[in-house]
Amino acid sequence: MKRADVMLAAAIGGLAPIAWHPSCTAHALPAVVSASVTPPALPPGGGYTPLGESMRVQGLPVFVWLLDAPGSLRDIASWLSARQPALRDLWVRPGAIVLAGIAEGMHWAARLSDAGAGRTQGTISAMPVDVDAAYGSRIGTLAAGAAGGGVGAAGAGRGSANPGPLADPAWRLPGGQLHFEFRSRDEAASIVEQIWTHAVSPADLRKQLVRELLAAGWRPADSGAPGPGASAIAGAAAPPAAQSWSLGRRTLSLIIVPLDRGSGITAVTRIGA
């Protein structure tokens, strides 16, 4: 069994899983992912919002959920660890707890933070790691991503066509909170996948992003210029399907879904050929 090279970078806040490559080839999956993957049960009054059931890491499925549950950080961390044995490795940071580990061919990771009023919020993800050695060596590092801050859409879009090191995210969501970031590199390009939340509703956020991306020089990938592609992304009735943008040798794919308070956003940036 080949264990993916997984690292939690404790020096930066947030937890990050996911890179997606639209042109990757299929691989035989471990039996554990042949059925639907479900997160561990939460205490009564808690709930999950799925954010990543159709995403891929180099062709392998990744499952991501936002969570909200009554209880302290310590209580929810203990609760999850008791119900998912993979969540056995513990990192404690100011106001946050990170749990991670591998069990039955799946890598699980959770980041929990104190939401106040006796509640805990966070994210939990699962991805298969029981893959062949040649394939497993291509999987990038599971690393922590800084939440908030950074450059906006304009600043992220401009720059050299050379992908360069992935020291900084390829894209930032102005006003959003970054929960996940996974960085990987294949033979031709660098790939960054991020999971964000934003207080603005999906309809308003789509309109905001269209304005900011167009102003930064991005163009809808399906049309090459402002037009139907941008209008579809901005429309209030737009389905939660991936919307693609391009700028030079960069492509940006966005999926926006409604949450109880605001929006959940998956952003995939591919830098290179």
What is the average per-residue pLDDT within 265-269?
85
Write down which residue in 93, 114, 142 finishes a domain. 142
First to last CA, the chain: 32
Q: Is residue 15 part of a domain?
A: no
* Nearest by Cα to 170 from 158, 180, 179: 158
Backbone angles phi, psi at 156, to 5 degrees: -75, -30
Q: Give the pLDDT score at 52.
A: 58
* pLDDT of 150 strictly over 50: no
The rounded percent of the chain whose pLDDT value lies above 90 is 26
* pLDDT of 56 strictly over 90: no
Q: Is residue 2 part of a domain?
A: no
Q: What is the average pLDDT value for the chain, to the nearest integer?
A: 69
Residues 205 and 242 in one domain: yes
* Nearest by Cα to 75 from 43, 41, 49: 43
Q: Give the pLDDT score at 71.
A: 96
Q: Give the pLDDT score at 241.
A: 60
Q: Is residue 6 part of a domain?
A: no
In tens, the pLDDT along 6-34 reads 223 222 233 333 333 333 333 344 444 44
The size of the chain, in residues, is 273
Number of domains in the chain: 2
Residues 158 and 128 in one domain: no
Two structure tokens written together for 30: 């471990």
Q: Give the pLDDT score at 130.
A: 52
In tens, the pLDDT along 99-135 reads 989 888 888 999 899 999 999 999 898 888 754 433 3
Q: How confident is the model at residue 178 (pLDDT cuts 50, 70, 90)?
A: confident
Q: Give the pLDDT score at 81.
A: 95
Residues 238 and 160 in one domain: yes
Residues 221 and 165 in one domain: yes
Q: Give the pLDDT score at 168.
A: 52
Q: 205 is in which domain, residue-wise?
A: 153-272
Q: Give the pLDDT score at 36.
A: 72
Q: Is residue 201 part of a domain?
A: yes
Angstrom distance (rounded) from CA 150 to CA 168: 9
Write the secondary structure of the chain as one string of H (helix), E (strand) and C (coil): CECCCCCCCCCCCCCCCCCCCCCCCCCCCCHHHCCCCCCCCCCCCCEEEECCCCEEECCEEEEEEEEEEECCHHHHHHHHHHHCCCCCEEEEECCEEEEEEEECCEEEEEEEEEEECCEEEEEEEEEECCECHHHHCCCCEECCCCCCCCCCHHHHHCCCCCCCCCCCCCCCCCCCEEEEEEEEECCCEEEEEEEEEECCCHHHHHHHHHHHHHHCCCEECCCCCCCHHHHHHHCCCCCCCCEEEEECCEEEEEEEEEECCEEEEEEEEEEEC
Beta carbons within 8 Å of 72's beta carbon, 6+ residues apart: 114, 118, 120
Residues 184 and 98 in one domain: no
Q: Is residue 228 part of a domain?
A: yes
The more confidently predicted of residues 25 and 73 is 73
Residues 116 and 161 in one domain: no
Residues 173 and 267 in one domain: yes
Residues 202 and 251 in one domain: yes
Write down which residue in 118, 142, 166 finishes a domain. 142
The more confidently predicted of residues 29 and 72 is 72
Q: Are 8 and 15 in contact (CB under 8 A)?
A: yes
Highest mean pLDDT among 45-49, 137-141, 168-172: 45-49
Phi and psi based region of residue 175 (left: phi greater than 0; alpha: psi -120 to 50; beta: remaining): left
Q: Is residue 23 part of a domain?
A: no
Write down which residue in 97, 118, 142 finishes a domain. 142
Q: What is the pTM of this model?
A: 0.53
In tens, the pLDDT along 204-230 reads 999 999 999 999 999 998 644 444 344
Q: Is residue 207 part of a domain?
A: yes
Q: Is residue 265 part of a domain?
A: yes
Residues 158 and 134 in one domain: no
